[in-house]
Amino acid sequence: MIDSPDRMMFDVTPEQRAVGDLARALARGEIAPHVAAWDREHRFPRELYRTLTEAGLMGIIVPERYGGSGADYVSYALAIEELAQVDAGTAVTVSVHAMICVAIEALGNDDQKDHYLPMLAGGDVLAGFALTEPGAGSDAAALRSTAMHDGTHYLLRGRKQWCTNGSFAGVTMGMFRTGGPGTRGISAFLIDNELPGIVVEKVTEKLGIHTSNTCDLAFDDVRVPSTALLGAEGSGLTNALTALTSGRIGIAAQATGILAACLESSVAFAKDREAFGKPIGSFEGISFKIARMATDLDAARLLVYRAAALADRGAPFAVEASKAKLFASTAARLHAAEAVQIHGGYGYTTDFPVERYYRDAKITEIYEGTSEIQQIIIGRSLLGRLE
């Protein structure tokens, strides 16, 4: 068994550790027996989220007054890591759901908090996220979907791509242009997915995270009330970035969980598999790979927990979250490849889970801000804008 985070030089409280232990028990008891089949079938296990809700994980960082668990970011990071160690798709579903909860709690008015947070914490609905468009990815300010005033309502028009949880979400946080070009013309909305005019155009077939739902949504004159506006009109991109900043802790924790799974599988295989009359772990070509994997796992965990601890203190954490996501996602991708290599031909088959870790790891370098975007954020924190 790989060392748990509380054996590292980080002050994880018993309460935080209990959340991680709960997530681990659920992941290994409720997800592990089914994940290979779910992955093979590209199945979104909707029923699983009722179990996670009953355990308090779907409302993990929703305040108790709204029916949530009221846990902190460190607890959240521990839970996401444990889920991702068994299934990265489940982890990102919970992470995005939590990210929207954070955005509503931080940016919503009292009516929005009272309406949405209890239902999200209680598992009545899943939350989705709709920012990316075919022509607007990292350059989110280039989005073209519009929200036009229509009396006391807005009419939403446009196409959104790669919407996480989109096919199953009850409410989606979406960004639409309410003004002119540039960042100041974008607004955020909380959208009831049952409204007429919202169509799931395509469910995206992906390299990995097959248990996570990703789809393209069409908004054809979707009429939403003015009360659906989240934050001030024109502050939508800022609001999206606020959500993404907290979400990067979740994705960094997801990548860390994938890395932990790679290490656990590699250690077990290296002890069991023999070549030339002895376990392959006795050869430096294998043991060095595992040593580096373990070292990078510790480093990733510490970066993630530092960002989470800063968020818990109410201190700025955007740069630290970017560092955590950049390092953890890169390490997950590199060491997932090494885990396949350690397993040799077996690693290239579906008989062992490392091929799934390999497929799942890559996306952590892309969504919720690519590695290149994280490097821009980190670089600017040191150098400012030099152009």
**Residue 240 · residue 248 · CB < 8 Å:** no
Q: Is 136 exposed, middle or buried (0-12, 13-18, 19+ CB in 10 A)?
A: middle
Q: How far apart are CA 17 and CA 232, in angstroms?
A: 38
Cβ atoms 208, 87 nearer than 8 A: no
| Other C-beta atoms lying within 10 Å of the C-beta of residue 33 | 10
The CA angle 344-209-197, to the nearest 5 degrees, is 160
Q: What is the Cα Rg of the chain in Å? A: 21
Helix (H, G, I), strand (E, B) or coil at 41: helix
Cα–Cα dist 100/88, whole Å: 19
Residues belonging to the active site: 368
Paired tokens of 114: 């009272």
SS3 of the chain: helix, strand, coil, percent, to 5: 55, 15, 25
